[in-house]
Structure 1
């Protein structure tokens, strides 16, 4: 594994540069501390004459509030960091790019889902492209291809990687480390725990206040811990409300806030005409598994190791969707007959790749139960079913079904490239 230096190249860099070639406003969105500002400055260096304005600076923020129209005026590319801090800038940006529609005018970063915020007076349909930046992927950390999603649809169940040295222990260690650049740089679990502690405090005291007025912040903090203890499980609002002594509507609002600030992601339930009796409840996934593991430490019941590994795998899949060559969406599947598939990838043509996650170092035929159901019901639309496990070898379990070591997520190469041998 590569040691993390001051900066690890991000796959989103190329996406941002490409978007600036034909789009007036590019928004780089993601959680706090995932490296948005650093990536944006790397992009800015590719544009001579570009300027950067950081709204975390009180003087800069005051100037933007007092005269937003003049603030955004510039001939070249302008980077505005943490743009959600001054909502009035949106109308000034709209005014600017409507009168001068050249591409590559503005690069905006934000730590919240900007167009979901009530304070944003006007979205910019047709004028913007949004690119989500997640915490570091394992491929970005290791210098590996990160091509599993593309390879799975291209190769189907024929996808293989060479045998690897891997274990449940290493998988849990990678999940607990997470992908925030600062956490990756820290050498010990104790030092990473200090980072996660400070990070959560910043989220609760700063980011939440930017998107909502919450009087009882302690309730929100307790909700975060409860969600972490059941990460990769179905979201049960009524049960959470009962445990917290809150109304179900309040819990739903709090979960919406946590999703808006990129702390959690709700994975929708998947269904198709060929399937019935599906459960529509979303699955809760933390954007960073390391933070989820930290939050669940000491919680009542703790977090099952299987939940941490599943969150880790689903998070790696979600990261890859941002640079996959096709438009692919991620769901989960569960029905009332107790069939389930941890991850369902579907492309625009309706082709499906199913993913089951096992924290064990061996695989049994029964681990393919949910995948076989989808295979029977979907027919030709079922591209492949994979069980990702904490073992070392890639093995066939019948037509269309394969088990792969978890490192296949980052070691598999996309079509047209060569996978590393190690």
Structure 2
């Protein structure tokens, strides 16, 4: 079995163990190179009699294609890595777990949204649980708590963060590094750039072509760069189509493919009866801000630094939502009167947290303009409004409004 080097513990591990206790099939899904196989193998080591099958090995893949039912026959936990490579396994697994409904039968990993692919039928309702693995969070990298989401709903605007002494240049360095384990391990910028070069090439050759026939892969690469240049902005298919010289339906299809392979994520627009002028257009972020920075040749000029840091913050929040005890969804807010809030968190009780991201090391009263609007319209539903910035102090800006250093995202301990 393959051995991980310099392994950093993943918060998703506890989710996998919990799911295997009561679920027949557990899927670890996520982008290529985020550590799915490494996590799955470490889980498998804790299960007596567990076996692993790696479908990127040609002989193993051929055996799975020739006799899928016999391939998946095993009494203990079976790990199948890159399961989307042999779609027929999906029905074979269903056949096995329907006849033996014990929990913890299969642990699957995949690099695309398995159930979104037409070649993989929705064959396991009620039998499976999917755990999405993102690139490493800052808390996982640095050994901090990663408890902001739980704490902010528990404490609201009373939340305060310890000073870490980080400044804008430090946050930019963290954002451009990203969270892919291999990129984190490479401290030299040139070596990290080589990783990203190979990653993009591999993504296009293997994952994109696995999902759809792309007429011109150069167009897909140009689309990635265009999206990276406007990360954190609203998705504008018309503008992208114009810049690429492609039909709108083609660009829409390409963007959807990039979401399927975990390159980008859509943040939906938020609205309520109190915000009837809200815009529904989704915002686009990259799953990893380091990759977005690479696709713009590392451009961190003033015109782009705001979008990059916003992407950094939104991706950290999205990672936390996969393991937080608080069940919440992430949105953005923008209305026709030019009021904009970068992130809206809404829990099951309908309580709202508003978050603005600022690339400056100071905060002004006007930075809370849109948060104050939501506060007036939502009343008690709004638990707090926050400006996350590149300074170091936690300060009140009025009832229910607070500025915090961006590092509060990963240094805050979750409230129980």
For the criterion TM > 0.5, the same-fold answer is: yes
- In the alignment, what sits opposite 1:315? 315
Are 2:346 and 1:338 aligned?
no
- In the alignment, what sits opposite 1:419? none
Shift of 1:357: 0.2
For residues 62 and 303 of structure 1, what CA distance do their matches in structure 2 show? 50
Residues 72-111 of structure 1: pairs in structure 2 closer than 5 A:
72-111=72-111
- In the alignment, what sits opposite 2:239? 239
For residues 154 and 326 of structure 1, what CA distance do their matches in structure 2 show? 9
Shift of 1:303: 6.4
Query: The residue matched to 2:392 in structure 1 has which SS?
Result: coil
Q: Are the counterparts in 2 of residues 225 and 299 from structure 1 also a CA contact under 8 Å?
A: no
The 1:412/1:37 distance shift into structure 2, 3 A limit, reads same
- Consecutive unaligned residues in structure 1, runs of 5 or more: 417-422
- In the alignment, what sits opposite 2:410? 410
- In the alignment, what sits opposite 2:140? 140
Query: The residue matched to 1:304 in structure 2 has which SS?
Result: helix
For residues 291 and 115 of structure 1, what CA distance do their matches in structure 2 show? 25
- The alignment's TM-score, normalised by the length of structure 1, stands at 0.96
Shift of 1:122: 3.2
For residues 278 and 196 of structure 1, what CA distance do their matches in structure 2 show? 37
Shift of 1:300: 13
Query: The residue matched to 2:79 in structure 1 has which SS?
Result: strand
- In the alignment, what sits opposite 1:66? 66
Per-residue Cα deviation, 1:357-394 (whole angstroms, up to 9, x for no partner): 00100000110111111111111110111100000110
For residues 236 and 298 of structure 2, what CA distance do their matches in structure 1 show? 22
The 1:299/1:158 distance shift into structure 2, 3 A limit, reads closer
Q: Are the counterparts in 2 of residues 30 and 133 from structure 1 also a CA contact under 8 Å?
A: yes
Q: Are the counterparts in 1 of residues 293 and 299 from structure 2 also a CA contact under 8 Å?
A: no
Q: Are the counterparts in 2 of residues 148 and 410 from structure 1 also a CA contact under 8 Å?
A: yes
Q: Are the counterparts in 2 of residues 343 and 354 from structure 1 also a CA contact under 8 Å?
A: yes
Q: Are the counterparts in 2 of residues 330 and 344 from structure 1 also a CA contact under 8 Å?
A: yes
- In the alignment, what sits opposite 2:361? 361
- In the alignment, what sits opposite 1:253? 253
Q: Are the counterparts in 2 of residues 229 and 301 from structure 1 also a CA contact under 8 Å?
A: no
For residues 299 and 398 of structure 1, what CA distance do their matches in structure 2 show? 36
For residues 244 and 359 of structure 1, what CA distance do their matches in structure 2 show? 30
For residues 372 and 255 of structure 1, what CA distance do their matches in structure 2 show? 34
For residues 126 and 96 of structure 2, what CA distance do their matches in structure 1 show? 14
The 1:135/1:298 distance shift into structure 2, 3 A limit, reads closer
- In the alignment, what sits opposite 1:42? 42
Q: Are the counterparts in 1 of residues 115 and 121 from structure 2 also a CA contact under 8 Å?
A: no
Q: Are the counterparts in 1 of residues 175 and 308 from structure 2 also a CA contact under 8 Å?
A: yes
Shift of 1:163: 2.0
Q: Are the counterparts in 2 of residues 27 and 131 from structure 1 also a CA contact under 8 Å?
A: yes
Per-residue Cα deviation, 1:77-99 (whole angstroms, up to 9, x for no partner): 00000000001111101111111
For residues 299 and 154 of structure 1, what CA distance do their matches in structure 2 show? 38
Alpha-carbon RMSD: 1.4
For residues 188 and 300 of structure 2, what CA distance do their matches in structure 1 show? 25
Shift of 1:123: 3.0
- In the alignment, what sits opposite 1:155? 155
Residues 206-217 of structure 1: pairs in structure 2 closer than 5 A:
206-217=206-217
Q: Are the counterparts in 2 of residues 385 and 401 from structure 1 also a CA contact under 8 Å?
A: yes
Q: Are the counterparts in 2 of residues 353 and 382 from structure 1 also a CA contact under 8 Å?
A: yes
Shift of 1:164: 2.1
Alignment: residue pair count: 413
Deviates more, 1:271-280 or 1:13-22: 271-280
For residues 150 and 243 of structure 1, what CA distance do their matches in structure 2 show? 41
Shift of 1:44: 0.3
- In the alignment, what sits opposite 2:173? 173
- In the alignment, what sits opposite 1:199? 199
- Consecutive unaligned residues in structure 2, runs of 5 or more: none
Q: Are the counterparts in 2 of residues 161 and 394 from structure 1 also a CA contact under 8 Å?
A: yes
For residues 329 and 6 of structure 2, what CA distance do their matches in structure 1 show? 32
For residues 345 and 234 of structure 2, what CA distance do their matches in structure 1 show? 18
Q: Are the counterparts in 1 of residues 231 and 286 from structure 2 also a CA contact under 8 Å?
A: yes
